[in-house]
Amino acid sequence: MLYLPEIKKNMNLESQGERAELFRSMHHRGKGVLILPNAWDVPSARLFESEGFPAIATSSAGMLVSLGYQDNEDIGLNDYLAAIKRIAQTLSVPLSADILSGFGSSKKDVEITVKGVIESGAVGINIEDFDHETKKLHSLEKHLEKIKAVQEVSETIKVPLVINARTDAIRYADGDERQRFEEVIRRCRAFRDMGADCVYPMGLSDKTLIHEFVRALDRFPTNVMIRKGLPSIKELEDLGVARVSFGPSASYATMGFLKRISRELLGNGTFSLLVNDAISFDELLSLAKKREEKS
């Protein structure tokens, strides 16, 4: 059982609960695709918000690499939550946090993590069923237990976190390609039946397989990640996909952009990419303003 009074008294859980429900409502079928940009730090998150995305997510890889870590739980829970909180407190729209596989293997570990995630101000999570270190899938039962832990904390604290349950079975399950795809379906159906809000078959990007997957899940909200070769947003919408996230692609693209800036400077001695179509100093500072400070 969680100790409720620990949740900071100055948090407005009611409005956090409303943000969670608002975020949940963005996943309903027939409302069109939710395009969810994953940010790596405060200004990347705020920039996406100010451009009009209705909700923001964190990218674990983007955020961890930005802080000098590999894409695993080495950073430790407290520093990770602090990074989520820095972003959450600047956003007005809902924030979903990628929490890897929950920072720990026990139900209790996941409870502690989720409590911290809610305290940090996020209203949704991604939770995945494999270990980044060993590249091994957890058992389905283990992942269902973790999802249940998330639900129990959400209920106790009365912030109904939106749960995006991810499986990496496409890459890490046993068997051939077809068997692994069927394991993805089996797992995602179980996540759905357990009460997850959205399922995330990581690595699914082929149009025919997406079609088959969405039908096998009875058009249950499904998240796919943007990558080269993914069908267009319009096609994904027609396929019945509910949500398209960036994953770490904004970090990949930004590093590519910094390469082009570097090559222009070191190759030509010019800096047009660095100064054209850029924002100003004041705009940059405005991206770090906390929610209550924003005009």
Question: Residues 225-264 vs a second copy: string with x where CB under 8 A?
Answer: -xxx-x-xxx-----------x-xxxxxxxxxxxxxxxx-
Binding window for a second copy (CB under 8 A); candidates: 19-27, 101-109, 162-170, 276-284: 276-284
Question: Are residues 245 and 57 in contact, defined by beta-carbon separation less than 8 angstroms?
Answer: yes
Q: Of the two residues 200 and 246, which places its CB atom closer to a second copy in the complex?
A: 246
CB 91 to a second copy: min, Å: 11
Segment 72-101, which members bind a second copy (CB under 8 A)?
A: 86-87, 89-90
Closest CA relative to residue 41, chosen from 24, 56, 62:
62
Question: Residues 21-40 vs a second copy: string with x where CB under 8 A?
Answer: --------------x-x---
Q: Which of 108, 135, 136, 290 binds a second copy (CB under 8 A)?
A: 290
CB 51 to a second copy: min, Å: 4
Alpha-carbon span 273 to 74, nearest angstrom: 35
Q: Of the two residues 27 and 46, which places its CB atom closer to a second copy in the complex?
A: 46
User: With binding defined as CB under 8 A, does residue 126 bind a second copy?
Assistant: no
Q: Which of 23, 53, 103, 172 binds a second copy (CB under 8 A)?
A: 53
Strands 34-36 and 243-245 come out as parallel
Q: Of the two residues 57 and 110, which places its CB atom closer to a second copy in the complex?
A: 57
Strand partners, 222: 199
Q: Which of 55, 61, 122, 162 binds a second copy (CB under 8 A)?
A: 61
CB 52 to a second copy: min, Å: 6
User: With binding defined as CB under 8 A, does residue 2 bind a second copy?
Assistant: no
Site size for a second copy, by CB under 8 A?
Answer: 70
Question: Residues 192-231 vs a second copy: string with x where CB under 8 A?
Answer: ----------------------------------xxx-x-
Binding residues for a second copy, per CB under 8 A? Answer: 35, 37, 41-44, 47-48, 51-53, 61-62, 64-71, 86-87, 89-90, 226-228, 230, 232-234, 246, 248-263, 265-266, 269-271, 273-281, 283-285, 287-290
